[in-house]
Amino acid sequence: MRAVDIITRKCNRNELTKEEIDFFINGFTRGDIPDYQASAWAMAIMLLGMSMRETTDLTLAMANSGEILDLSSVVPIAVDKHSTGGVGDKTTLVVEPTVAACGLPVAKMSGRGLGFSGGTLDKIESIPGFRTDLSIAEFMQQLREVGLVLAGQSDRLAPADGRLYALRDVTGTVQSIPLIASSIISKKIAAGAQAFVLDVKVGLGAFMKNLEDARTLAETMVKIAHLSQRRAVALLSDMNQPLGLAVGNALEVKEAIETLKGNGPGDFREHCLMIAAYMLVMGKLTSDIEEARRMAESALMDGRALDRFRALVSAQGGDTRCVDDPGRLPGANSIETLTSTRAGFLKEIHAQKVGETAVLLGAGREKKGDIIDPAVGIELHHKVGDYVSKGDPLFRIHINDASLLSGASQKLLEALQWSDQPVEPLPLFYGVVQDEDESLKP
């Protein structure tokens, strides 16, 4: 068997066998198949697609390219969540301690941000001392003792995915639905998840720009999970405007802490409660979504979720004083307010443009290896549908380099579209995709 023959077969629109996919992934992981052949193979998949059976075989091949954690000795059922990425999406920081506070232990391996989409690890590392580079032994011990862990992806888990994603990022093959789906699910399987909730973003600030593509991705991932003997449910959530009001690492941690204290922006709080509710159902703490939502809301309101977050920060070496006093988190040298030059209803707040502005300020990476500034970012004063008077504040820009202010201000103004007529607020969710064997109800 040769790599070139497998590439040629896919280019000729043939369905690859499990043996061919295993051969290619194993050879690529070992370094026997060079990057240029893997890039050609990924491009063929990007252009010609994969069947569901091929995509499932690819997922399992990538999951089996390294270790697969067995969490059964620590937790009765391992439930995880995954977001396909967005602007202002600090959901993990609220959902995971909320779910843990309800009695369902949560172990999550997260990633870093690249481009306009922020990364959970970059955000949580705004807390001084917080360590994300846990060994697998430390990961398992903390899950056993604390019931909650948030760490970086181990190089020993799904290494084929790490190598392949690096190539996809520079070869224009990121958007392939089979490659996205297999990447996400292979990491969930490798990290020991038996059931997972998928937060599939759709809109201007998401990889999936329209609902049709987002639904296709969600259906693909749910089917892969089923064929891999796992359980999954996917929520299609809006990413046309930023989630919540904060965009930027320390700013988003502050907003998460406020939400854990029972406050926080309404859209972000409700988003977190729904994701948490589905996790609780997938973890079999209840079979009813509305009851699960009440459980999650109770954990937020009575302080148990905040206590779990504090325990997480303490266990991983972070300064717990930041939880009680978020003012201790990194702050920018200057905060500038951008005001409105007109009156009207906000019709659009382009999520990607806001995210790109945060990157311009230093809150994100344009390429791997760039240094993150945890203090900078943007706070929104309004959401789509709000009426704004002339002179009202639109954004607060947290900035450390004054020379960037003019460009950032201009980009933020370009993110807005206005209407003289009332505009309906954007929905939080567009639907739920689930396995036909599941009885979950939205």
Q: Which residues are catalytic?
A: 82, 161, 168, 183, 187
245: DSSP letter: S
Tokens matching residue 384: 């789509």
> Cα separations (Å) of 242 from 106, 168, 322, 371?
26, 26, 24, 23
Alpha-carbon gap, residue 274 to 280, rounded angstroms: 10
Residue 357 · residue 230 · CB < 8 Å: no
Alpha-carbon gap, residue 59 to 71, rounded angstroms: 20
Beta-bridge mates of residue 237: 201, 429
318: DSSP letter: -
Alpha-carbon gap, residue 428 to 270, rounded angstroms: 8
Alpha-carbon gap, residue 342 to 128, rounded angstroms: 41
Tokens matching residue 192: 């020991």
Alpha-carbon gap, residue 98 to 272, rounded angstroms: 9
User: What are the φ/ψ torsions at residue 277 (nearest 5 degrees)?
Assistant: -60, -45
Tokens matching residue 65: 């390219």
Tokens matching residue 272: 């977190």
Tokens matching residue 149: 């862990």
Alpha-carbon gap, residue 275 to 248, rounded angstroms: 22
Residue 193 · residue 232 · CB < 8 Å: no
Closest CA to 145 of 276, 318, 315: 315
Residue 7 · residue 41 · CB < 8 Å: yes
User: What are the φ/ψ torsions at residue 367 (nearest 5 degrees)?
Assistant: -150, 155
Alpha-carbon gap, residue 390 to 394, rounded angstroms: 10
| CB neighbours of residue 19 within 10 Å | 11
Tokens matching residue 431: 């639907």
**Strand-pair category, 416-419 with 344-349:** antiparallel
